[in-house]
Structure 1
């Protein structure tokens, strides 16, 4: 630009020596007009350079935003894929648990069906019209409660002949269920008992239980199915405050229940089948 000005000035000086004043004035005006155009172009050029720099900065910022968005999108897709996988695994786990619950419920239903059939069979064989014999279900367990007056004489643990008729019916049902156990519980009242060789009510309750078990064994019940138990006077049906109530508490309870280990074996088998299926 400086060279241009020097050139212009030299031209003016040169022309002033060989042109008229009128022409010189015209040249001066032309030179001023040219200078104004140059100044205007310079201003526009600087403005364009500033706009270019600003646009470049905005472009760089946008490129960085695009890169960030692409990175975020990639991470989001990864997370979505992991999330979908986790949801699928969770659904599979829920289905597996539901299947386990269903199999357990089926096992329990099967047990309940067998229990119901057992109660029906016992009531049919033993008879439900005798007030001294009760067949019932308590917490999923079948039991036969027999008043002591049908089984023993007062203070004795020798089984009566009348009791053997009742026990023969019980033995028939137990023999038809080889996968069940039969626990014989002896119960006394709270009147202290001592008669050699027995020391107390504990001895009497257990001795009466073993006496019943020996009769059942003689009737063909598998001894491995039988369990002897004595409860003394500690599980009364009613308060021992009258002779009538004490008579109710003197009883033998025969509990018929599935063998626990076989029941859990059945559940374990179902779980193994489930695992093999999966």
Structure 2
């Protein structure tokens, strides 16, 4: 911008050099000179401002270029992943088909298990009805019958079976035992376990050391009654005592102790007969 000022200065000097000029003319030239200086100053300011804006624009352009390069790299990565996905589509279809087959096989096996359970529940109901059909309402108060997985559990209270504080069978127990013995003999191929149980109160009787002895003696009394009085084959019978160590209720109340003082008659069907009733499991299972 200074190049515009220099010719003007030379012009002024040349004019002055040619001779004296009027005061008016001099003032005009002086004003022009001052005006040109101000314009030069303004142009320099604009030039500096333009330079700063250019520098900022260059920085923004560089930043945008870096972003563009990063996005191009992302696009390339996504394209590579898409190509791999497309290349594996056929293999994916094979895997999906195999998975569907496995799900169908699993569903068939689950349905088989449901059907098996339904048959098992039906068998349990039949066994329970057969065992309780001849028991009176009074007798059922002292007899609890449960069928779990084809095994029959008949729980008899000690009040109904034995004389007070004894392992001898009471006279009132005969009617109930005779009905249970008839059912046992109807299912002649079933094994029978007689299991004695007590509460946790220590026994205080002559010739009985502890609750182990009492529970075993009570079970033995029932076994001998079934054999000698009701003609159950002794080869099918087993007597066992579990003392106080198989409780069904807490021993901290009279009601709980009464539940624990019991004798269980456990009737177990032969495995092959039981499987015939509920149906065999499938030969193959889903992998």
* TM bucket normalised to smaller: 0.5 to 0.7
1:46: which partner in 2?
Answer: none
Q: How far has the Cα of 1:129 moved from its partner?
A: 3.0
- In the alignment, which residue of structure 1 is the partner of 2:47? none
Question: Contact 1:107–1:266 (CA<8 Å) still a contact in 2?
Answer: no
> What's 2:203 paired with?
193
Q: Does 1:126 align with 2:135?
A: yes
1:114-140 deviation line (CA, Å, top 9, x unaligned): 111111122212233336422333766
Contact 1:142 1:255 in 2 (8 A): yes
Contact kept, 8 Å, 2:215 with 2:241, in 1: the verdict is: yes
Q: 1:89 to 1:174 in 2, by over 3 A?
A: farther
**Aligned residue in 2 for 1:255:** 266
Distance 2:233 2:108 in 1: 37
Contact 1:189–1:240 (CA under 8 A) maintained in structure 2: no
User: Taking structure 1 as reference, are residues 138 and 86 closer, same or farther at Cα in structure 2, changes over 3 Å only?
Assistant: same
- Which runs of 5 or more structure 1 residues have no equivalent in the other structure? 1-68
- Normalising by structure 2, we get a TM-score of 0.56
Q: What aligned pairs does 1:130-149 form with structure 2 within 5 A after superposition?
A: 130=139, 132-137=141-146, 142-149=152-159
Instruction: Report the alpha carbon displacement of residue 249 of structure 1 after superposing the two structures with TM.
Output: 4.0
Does the aligned pair in 2 maintain the 1:134–1:144 contact within 8 Å? yes
Q: When the two structures are superposed, what TM-score results if normalisation uses the length of structure 1?
A: 0.57
**Offset at 1:261?**
8.1
1:81 aligns with one of 87, 90, 102 = 90
| Residue 197 of structure 1: how far off its partner (Å) | 4.2
State the secondary structure of the residue aligned to 1:271: coil
Gaps of 5+ in 2: 1-79
Equivalent pair of 2:198/2:262 in contact (CA under 8 Å): yes
- In 1, the alpha carbon distance for the partners of 2:190 and 2:110 equals 24
CA offset digits 1:196-221 (Å, max 9, x no partner): 54321111102211221233344344
Match of 2:119 in 1: 110
Aligned equivalents of 1:91, 1:180: Cα separation in 2 = 44
Report what 2:216 is aligned to. 206
RMSD over aligned CA atoms reads 3.9
Partners of 2:267 and 2:210 in 1: CA distance = 27
Q: Does 1:231 align with 2:242?
A: yes
1:146-166 deviation digits (Å, cap 9, x = unpaired):
222332223332323442331
Query: Residues 88-124 of structure 1: CA distance to partner in whole angstroms, max 9, x if unpaired?
Result: 2222222222222222222222221111111112221
Question: Greater CA deviation, 253-262 or 224-233?
Answer: 253-262
Q: Output aligned runs, 1:1-278, within 5 Å.
A: 76=86, 79-130=88-139, 132-137=141-146, 142-178=152-188, 180-195=190-205, 197-218=207-228, 219-223=230-234, 225-234=236-245, 235=247, 237=249, 239=251, 241-242=253-254, 246-247=257-258, 249-258=260-269, 269-272=280-283, 274=284
